[in-house]
Structure 1
Amino acid sequence: MVTNAQTQENARERRYRRFFQVVDGLVEEIQGHQWEATGKAKRRVRGEQLLKLRASVETLIRDSVAVVYQRKRKGEASVHLNRNWYGGEASPADLTYSIHVERAYQGMLELGYLEQTQRGVHDRQGRKDGSNRSRLTRFRATDHLIIKFTAREQEVFPVIVPPERGHAPIKVRIKSADGPDELFAAPVTAEVQQMADNLSRINRVLATRWYDLHIPDAELADLQARLAEDPDGAKPLALDRRTLHRVFNDRDLTTGGRFYGGWWQNVPKAYRRHLIVNGKRMVEIDYSNLHPALLYAQEGVVPSVDCYRGIFAADVEARGGNELRSTVKAAFNAMLNAEKELRQAPKGVEPGKFSMKWRELSDAVLAAHKPIAHHFYTGAGKRLQRADSDVAERVMLDFIDRGIAILPIHDSFLVHEGHSDLLEDSMRKALREVCGVETKLKLVEPDLSRVFAELKEQRMQDPEGFGLEVSQDIGEILASRAGHEKRLDAFYSSASLGTS
């Protein structure tokens, strides 16, 4: 009797059959590889161990090629080389140190399919602002691996690689004072099971659409390179990552709970205006002053229209402009999330730009928000995240039940521009039902500059308006299509083979 899980696995294999052909070929190479340390092949693995080797090779190929947008500028992936990480609750059950690191990763390095670009660093001391410089080892695919795929497949790597296998959808991350954060699956309760069921519904609909950036692939590669240069760890812009999970900050699930995992959450804010779903433009709407509104509501006080302005004298505000507002907002949130007073500016907050010290900025925020000042430096922000994540879940389910894809970015959401009014209504309703408050919504329209530029270019090439001459050669037509168009075509084609 064929189980539902086997049916899904078979559909997954059919949809990504070319990818798995490469996986199987590399697995066989590793099985017969003469290792540098001994000059001999290791004992061949079989049964369950062979399945784990296949899962490890799949993971390493997927993570490295899904960030390749141009051969000359490959993105980087990361790998855990700490033996203690494997076997823990944060580690996928099908990845083990002896197979994933000692056979798959090391084997693919020796065979020339991967190259290690940066060694991992573990900073036990950390920084004075509470952050640390720890990062995982980074690697990337070599041309030797990339040419395993056809030129056409290389153009659409994020589409032809399978998504990550399902792992714990509800997780708990506990901060450690002298080591990496602990990450493990949330204990199974009725509440957690309901959250997991809701996430499954959301992810199923997300999987039926293709999300991309309406920008040239050269710019996409540049953006990936900038993200990878983040000194605090790689944030790969891998378009295959379209599955969400929730992360809480305590075992009782009273703090955190926000949704993570979608590649669009790593995109700088300015680029979100270029997001498209199935080739169509999207709009973003976010809650304005959400956490201040929730805190002021608890105190029975009406907040100012903009809680991040009016903190300083008018001349200082005028000189600082929007940059000062952004700094105040970042400081406000850092002060809410911190569980004790911060003695220096947190990462990303630079009061020196405005000729002031961190203490002055902190004191000014406290003074401007006296009704809620007692909430700062108590970790209240993490408790508020539980509330805003519950709101986000309700908004997403409202859309999912209508069969409409929606992308969350904490307290904001992106949908096809035709659903803008529906999103506003859903966001207002969810906030009232979960938190009992109202707050302003802010709409961010899509960036149409590229569309206008393309139209201008067409007018310059065709001033009479008779229409540009179009090649009848199918090869030329396909080659002229933009990267996001090719990926969408590939997604439609692969979707017809079944879903994963």
Structure 2
Amino acid sequence: MDWQFDFEEEQSLLDLQQKHFEALYFDSARRLNYRSYSDDENFVSVVDTLFDELGLSSGYQQELKRSALNCILTNFFLAWRCERPVAVSFNKNYYSDKRSRYVPKFFTYNIVIESIIKKLIETDYLILSAKGFSFANKSRYSRVDSMTKLRNLLPRFSSNDALDIDDSGFVEPIQLKDEHKKLVDYENTPELDEMRRKIQRYNEFILNQQVTVQMNDEDYSQLLFNTRIHLYTHFNTDSRYIRYDSQTTTRNEILDSLVNNYYPFTHTISLRHLSIKRVFNQSSFTKGGRLYGSEVQGLPKVIRHEIKINDESVVEPDYSTLHLRMLYHRKNIYPSETDLYSFGDEGTRKLNKAVTNIMLNSGDEESAIKAIAREFGSNHELKEEFGDEISTHVRIREIISAFRTAHPNIEEFFFTGVGLDLQFEDSSIMLEILDELVTKNIPAIPIHDSVMVGISHQEEVMNLMIEKYEEKLGFKPVVSCD
């Protein structure tokens, strides 16, 4: 009797453990992303095959259904590669809430669920692993997995060939966010249509250029090490997802095999996500408006220097201390200094630059001090160089005081939220620069206050940056190139 009790208790614990692992697996799901899409010709061939097999080639909305099928298959490929399910909502209201300019037209309940996912389940390409459930006191969408039948259609993508994922066709190039940084809808105007035309024209142009990063051994090794550590977390071994910690390297033999298989590295990396969008803030088309989206913007400067555009080395001319200089120009003053961040104690330029955006974007001094403290407190590089005291309110007030002393003529703009107005002006200038460069067939990549171009175009682009600034603001800026 005791033995029977122990056996049942052990079995109960095993069942509980299995349920726990299943819950963790389901909780790691990749949410169905309507922006994932691949135009790889081999992948498109698989899409075409299933498009006919599922009977989608007859009836209406064929092009929308083809786009939806591509998107869905791309999602399941990416999830399968990381051994994760896909989180899918079968609730009609979920899709009705998504109807806006920011969501592709194919992302409807009838197309995504009724026309495609349910048919893929019925034909054994997908399986519903779990209907909507709760885990950790939170509701979860249903979990859907790809089956062997679908995975066998994609063998060529499972090893050394990286699937090219592109979302540029599904991204609204003009985005408007409210005070809580949530996207809000808006009505088109002739001015917005012209702006959209310029952005789309640039995107079509830049996506036809070859942009690569050629890494030297030192930078490549560091990038490889950092990236591998994070890629390890994509894989499941012994029913457990790998955590990012110091013990990760103990599994290198298995993990390196997985990473080499799914994420091959070379010294020349092709950059594909180059399209841009213009993002406005505070529900206003005169606030913010900077250009985001290009993956180049997220690269460290030391790596950006290794980029080549159409096999040509690049330079990155930029507007020197742009926003502070714009404020001086508003006061009809030409500052004599070339570098407006160089003031106060020797070596503090980096700190002065770091606080500028927060001072100009904040609406009052106290909130700015708290924001600067958070920024400095989480910046290990600054803390290592200047010490932990840089995140104290006392030290921050000293930096702000030095700022006031160095720039009394523009002190009235500090802590007024003027930063978003300045971003609107500088992004408008940048869009005009890019539009003219497209006309001249000169590929360029924007980095907010700088432009990355081939070295042969350096002088022409620097002159254009000066010209467009003068046209917009009536003053001559300082443009430099390190």
The one-letter amino acid paired with 1:383 is D
- For the 8 Å contact 1:66–1:239, the answer to whether it is kept is no
- The secondary structure found in structure 2 opposite 1:424 is helix
Indicate the residue corresponding to 1:240 in structure 2: 272
Indicate the residue corresponding to 2:371 in structure 1: 345
Q: How many Å separate the matches in 1 of 2:84 and 2:299?
A: 16
Q: How many Å separate the matches in 1 of 2:453 and 2:127?
A: 39
Q: How many Å separate the matches in 1 of 2:324 and 2:70?
A: 45
Indicate the residue corresponding to 1:295 in structure 2: 327
- 1:408–1:170 distance in 2 versus 1, CA, 3 Å: same
The one-letter amino acid paired with 1:331 is V
The one-letter amino acid paired with 1:348 is E
Give 5+ residue unaligned stretches, structure 2. Answer: 1-36, 130-134, 136-143, 234-268
Indicate the residue corresponding to 1:475 in structure 2: none
- For the 8 Å contact 2:176–2:280, the answer to whether it is kept is yes
- 1:67–1:420 distance in 2 versus 1, CA, 3 Å: farther
Indicate the residue corresponding to 2:245 in structure 1: none
Match runs of 1:64-143 below 5 Å? 86-96=98-108, 100=112
Q: Which moved more, 1:99-108 or 1:346-355?
A: 99-108
- For the 8 Å contact 2:278–2:289, the answer to whether it is kept is yes
- Percent sequence identity is 24
The one-letter amino acid paired with 2:400 is S
- For the 8 Å contact 2:100–2:185, the answer to whether it is kept is no
- For the 8 Å contact 2:40–2:163, the answer to whether it is kept is no
- For the 8 Å contact 1:289–1:439, the answer to whether it is kept is no
Q: How many Å separate the matches in 2 of 1:223 and 1:207?
A: 27
Indicate the residue corresponding to 1:269 in structure 2: 301
1:404 positional shift: 1.3
- Match of residue 253, structure 1, among 263, 281, 285: 285
- The secondary structure found in structure 1 opposite 2:481 is strand
1:207 positional shift: 2.4
Indicate the residue corresponding to 2:174 in structure 1: 170
Root mean square deviation of aligned Cα: 4.7
Q: How many Å separate the matches in 2 of 1:156 and 1:142?
A: 21
Indicate the residue corresponding to 1:334 in structure 2: 358
- For the 8 Å contact 2:175–2:278, the answer to whether it is kept is yes
Q: How many Å separate the matches in 1 of 2:322 and 2:155?
A: 47
Indicate the residue corresponding to 2:318 in structure 1: 286
Indicate the residue corresponding to 1:481 in structure 2: none
- The secondary structure found in structure 2 opposite 1:426 is helix
- For the 8 Å contact 1:238–1:263, the answer to whether it is kept is no
1:414 positional shift: 0.7
1:163 positional shift: 5.1
Q: Is it true that 1:150 corresponds to 2:156 in the alignment?
A: yes
Indicate the residue corresponding to 1:195 in structure 2: 195
Q: How many Å separate the matches in 1 of 2:446 and 2:72?
A: 27
1:203 positional shift: 1.9
Q: How many Å separate the matches in 2 of 1:64 and 1:238?
A: 24
- The secondary structure found in structure 2 opposite 1:86 is coil
- 1:102–1:173 distance in 2 versus 1, CA, 3 Å: farther
The one-letter amino acid paired with 1:325 is R
- For the 8 Å contact 1:173–1:250, the answer to whether it is kept is yes
Instruction: Determine which structure has greater relative contact order: mean sequence separation of CA pairs < 8 Å that are 6+ residues apart, divided by chain length.
Output: 1
- The secondary structure found in structure 1 opposite 2:289 is strand
Q: How many residues align?
A: 377
Q: How many Å separate the matches in 2 of 1:56 and 1:15?
A: 13
Q: Is it true that 1:414 corresponds to 2:438 in the alignment?
A: no
Q: How many Å separate the matches in 1 of 2:147 and 2:311?
A: 30
- The secondary structure found in structure 2 opposite 1:345 is helix
The one-letter amino acid paired with 1:275 is I
The one-letter amino acid paired with 1:266 is G
The one-letter amino acid paired with 1:55 is S
The one-letter amino acid paired with 1:420 is Q
Which deviations, in whole Å up to 9, do the C-alpha atoms of 1:361-389 show, x marking residues without a partner?
A: 33433343222122122210100011101
- 1:86–1:309 distance in 2 versus 1, CA, 3 Å: same
- For the 8 Å contact 2:206–2:444, the answer to whether it is kept is yes
Which deviations, in whole Å up to 9, do the C-alpha atoms of 1:15-68 show, x marking residues without a partner?
A: 743221233456689x69xxxxxxxxxxx9985577555434423555787999
- 1:247–1:435 distance in 2 versus 1, CA, 3 Å: same
Which deviations, in whole Å up to 9, do the C-alpha atoms of 1:221-258 show, x marking residues without a partner?
A: 656568889xxxxxxx9943222221111444111111
Indicate the residue corresponding to 2:23 in structure 1: none
- For the 8 Å contact 2:358–2:371, the answer to whether it is kept is no
- The secondary structure found in structure 1 opposite 2:279 is strand
Which deviations, in whole Å up to 9, do the C-alpha atoms of 1:115-157 show, x marking residues without a partner?
A: 9xxxxx9xxxxxxxxxxxxxxxxx9999985981536994453
TM-score normalised by the chain length of structure 1:
0.62
Which of the two has higher C-alpha Rg? 2
- 1:406–1:340 distance in 2 versus 1, CA, 3 Å: same
- 1:340–1:149 distance in 2 versus 1, CA, 3 Å: farther
Which deviations, in whole Å up to 9, do the C-alpha atoms of 1:414-437 show, x marking residues without a partner?
A: 111111111111111111111122
Indicate the residue corresponding to 2:41 in structure 1: 17
- Match of residue 309, structure 1, among 318, 327, 342: 342
Q: Is it true that 1:58 corresponds to 2:70 in the alignment?
A: yes
Which deviations, in whole Å up to 9, do the C-alpha atoms of 1:379-411 show, x marking residues without a partner?
A: 101000111011101211221111111111111
Give 5+ residue unaligned stretches, structure 1. Answer: 1-12, 33-43, 116-120, 122-138, 230-236, 445-500
Q: Which moved more, 1:86-95 or 1:403-412?
A: 86-95
Indicate the residue corresponding to 1:384 in structure 2: 422
Indicate the residue corresponding to 1:485 in structure 2: none
